[in-house]
Amino acid sequence: MERKASRRENECEEKTSNSESSELEKDYKTSLITLNVGGYLYITQKQTLTKYPDSFLEGIINGRIMCPFDADGHYFIDRDGLLFRHILNFLRNGELLLPEGFRENQLLAQEAEFFQLKVLSEAVKSRWEKEQLASRETTFLEITDSHDRSQGLRIFCNAPEFIAKIKSRIVLVSKSRLDGFPEEFSVSSNIIQFKYFIKSENGTRLVLKEDNTFVCTLETLKFEAIMTALKCGFRLLTSLDCSRGSIVHSDALHFIK
């Protein structure tokens, strides 16, 4: 009798456990929402879409706002499907994180307003304003002689991230050509200073090693700057010193996109 009673208790516990697991699984499945935004399907959790009260998505999920369904029964929202990934990432992360080189601020601001996400809309507009301000400010990189700053190369551009890219590329090239001589140049925010500029009949060359061999010519650095600019979608606006007759002989380059 005791064994039968024990067996019945175990069966009851198993049924209860299975019932609870089934309910949890059911709740988990119903918490997943599939959205069809402009033909792009996104699967996310209910809690993500309802993160901001009074938003368009929260209204849909909680039944305040009527939304049509597609042929498969998914919520259909007739908006930009590609840009919606940034909307969803904002809901997930709580902050605006955009890929490098993102240029659709105005469109994203419109999407944020449609989805009634005031915080996102303000973040996008703030980012846009900063980019507009930065685009009006010409930044520069100066490659110069620590003993004579009149000698060297100056690179101008209205994109700070491009100047940073140029600087890192030139430092990389210089280090590879000055292997074992790290003290031959120093780097600050907008200036790369070499220890020596050496003049020769063939042009200006940078740094004289102990064995009297020249390395890292200014022509090489100009070539690296121009090639990096072209790869990044920039163009050479002017050499800023046309009196010398060619880009090779100029001492300044101006890039713009």
Contact 168, 117 (CB under 8 A): no
Q: Are residues 62 and 158 in the same domain?
A: no
Domain end residue (candidates: 134, 152, 176) = 134
DSSP lists the bridge partners of residue 255 as: 157, 236
In this prediction, residue 138 carries a pLDDT of 59
Q: Residue count of the chain, please give it.
A: 257
Sheet arrangement for strand 252-256 = 185-187, 191-194, 139-145, 152-157, 252-256, 235-238
Note down the domain range covering 33: 22-134
* CATH code, 96: 3.30.710.10
Give dist(CA 9, CA 204) in Å, integer: 93
Q: Are residues 72 and 120 in the same domain?
A: yes
Total domain count for the chain? 2
Q: Are residues 123 and 147 in the same domain?
A: no
Q: Are residues 64 and 126 in the same domain?
A: yes
Q: Is residue 5 part of a domain?
A: no
In this prediction, residue 247 carries a pLDDT of 62
Q: Are residues 164 and 112 in the same domain?
A: no
Query: Is the pTM here over 0.85, yes or no?
Result: no
Domain end residue (candidates: 134, 169, 189) = 134
Q: Are residues 105 and 213 in the same domain?
A: no
Q: Are residues 32 and 113 in the same domain?
A: yes
Q: Are residues 116 and 163 in the same domain?
A: no
Q: Are residues 235 and 180 in the same domain?
A: yes
Domain end residue (candidates: 134, 154, 174) = 134
In this prediction, residue 22 carries a pLDDT of 52
**Tens-level pLDDT at each residue, the chain (257 residues):** 555 555 555 555 655 555 555 554 444 445 899 999 999 999 999 999 999 999 999 999 999 999 999 999 999 999 999 999 999 999 999 999 998 778 899 999 999 999 999 999 999 999 888 777 766 555 778 877 666 666 678 888 877 778 888 888 777 766 766 665 556 677 777 777 776 554 444 545 554 454 444 455 667 777 778 888 888 888 887 655 545 556 656 778 888 87
Q: Is residue 11 part of a domain?
A: no
Q: Is residue 202 part of a domain?
A: yes
Q: Is residue 3 part of a domain?
A: no
Q: Are residues 161 and 125 in the same domain?
A: no
Q: Is residue 16 part of a domain?
A: no
